[in-house]
Amino acid sequence: MSLVLVVDDEVSLGTLICDWLASEGMDSAWVGSAGEAVAWFENAELWPQVALVDIKLPDRTGFDLADELESRFGFDQVVFISAFIWEKETLRQLKRRGKPFFEKPLKFKEEVMPFLKKFLGLESVP
């Protein structure tokens, strides 16, 4: 079973993503801030295969969170999501990091889910 951690301060979006993942047979967990994500990693018995991380979080950026997850836990399976992909600093960071990203509003069934299935090795994408 694949586990996806969703890190987004929008409760409704986090819940919706988890519902979509469940409908596809995936386990998920949602947290609303970078601090909660770090605490989740500190306490979880099973880490996710991938984390969907919003770039703009209330307590730090998703980029800062990704750096902390990698430095503290060796976890680098991050996919960024944001409504602000077009911002200059966001574009610079995305290019520098070379990580996958999706723009909000998410086209979950058309883009995100096929990507996740391929990324997690669950299904090939045509």
**Has residue 123 got a pLDDT over 80?**
no
- Percent of the chain predicted with pLDDT > 70: 96
* CATH class for the domain made up of 3-119: alpha beta
3-state helix, strand, coil in the chain (%, to 5): 45, 20, 35
The pLDDT, as a whole number, for residue 1 is 66
Burial class of 4 by CB neighbour count within 10 A (0 to 12, 13 to 18, 19+): buried
Residue, of 19 and 125, whose pLDDT is higher: 19
**Has residue 68 got a pLDDT over 80?**
yes
User: What's this model's pTM, rounded to 2 decimal places?
Assistant: 0.93
